[in-house]
Amino acid sequence: MEEQEALARLAAGEVEIRGRLVDASNATLYCVVDGPQGELACVYKPVAGERPLWDFPDDTLARREVASYAVSAATGWDVVPPTVFRDGPHGPGSVQLWLTRQPGEDGGDPEDEDDDDPGTVVLPEPGAGLIDIVDVRAVADGWLSVLQAEDGGGRPVVLAHADDLRLRRIAVLDAVLNNADRKGGHVLPGWSGAVHGVDHGLTFHEEPKLRTVLWGFGGARLLAEEREVLARLARDLGAGLGELLSDLLAVEEVVATLERVERLLSTDRLPRARGQRTIPWPPF
């Protein structure tokens, strides 16, 4: 499905709630939008279901989800699935395309349903096979260690992720968005080997709040492609993209986003972990 078609269907179709993701901190509803082309699975996060946070303004998380999609779309990297802000059964909120396996991949069907129970929706694999917590002696070649710890039995383990270009793009985008909640469970597989990032409600804060499981890229020099994308973002933030974000965020937050992009270009490196609470908890 083309991105613009997905956006149009998400924006115009009637939202029907089918279930709820019970582990989510805020109201996160599994839905379908129904229209002339049939049903399209999506995630609906109503503003009314947002829990107040001490460090983010109330009733702003859904708009931050949509703003994150706008920046992702501007990079051309297809990190964040198509997302719109619209009215729904519980009032206004974000509506995002649900990630499913492509027909024929890993034996999956378009709806990812369990053959024994058609009403069961199978969640995509968290971490997309690229982020894991493993025995300290089992870190695979080509993987980057992030944190050493102990499991419940006192055995040493490592939080690690693959040195993979798809994850690097997410790490660059997170640095731009100032993402305070990049858990391993927020990285999901897409079609044809794509890897996506979801859950971007805790983004765009003016103060540095980057918390991520992708610190293995910290300090890495930017690739030529990444510099080109960031330079384009800087231009776009001073034009149409900046105007779009200003409808979703505080003006100060849009200015801070441009400053983060300019800082990345100036240092020519991905940021390193600094201070405390640099990894979200739990990490998955």
Q: What is the pLDDT of residue 42?
A: 96
Which three-class secondary structure state does DSSP give residue 86? Answer: strand
pLDDT of the residue at 23: 85
Domain boundaries, the chain: 1-98
Question: pLDDT tens, 97-153?
Answer: 998 765 555 544 444 444 445 567 777 888 999 999 989 888 889 999 999 988 888
- Are 239 and 219 in contact by the 8 Å Cβ rule? The answer is no
Q: What's the mean pLDDT in 155-181?
A: 96
The C-alpha atoms of residue 193 and residue 120 are separated, in whole angstroms, by 24
- pTM, to two decimals: 0.92
Q: Where are the alpha helices (DSSP H) in 146-205?
A: 165-177
Distances (CA, A) of 250 to 28, 60, 243, 257, 259: 24, 10, 11, 11, 15
Contact in structure between 167 and 186 (CB atoms under 8 Å): no
Give exposure, 192-207, as e/b (b: 16+ Cβ within 10 Å). Answer: eebbbbbbbbbbbbee
The pLDDT of residue 118: 52
CA 281 vs CA 87, 244, 278: distances in Å: 31, 31, 9
- Round to whole Å and give the CA distance between 246 and 267: 26
Percentage with pLDDT > 70 across the chain: 93
Whether 14 has a pLDDT exceeding 50, the answer reads yes
Residue range 231-246: average pLDDT? 96
Provide the percentage of residues in the chain whose pLDDT is more than 90.
Answer: 76
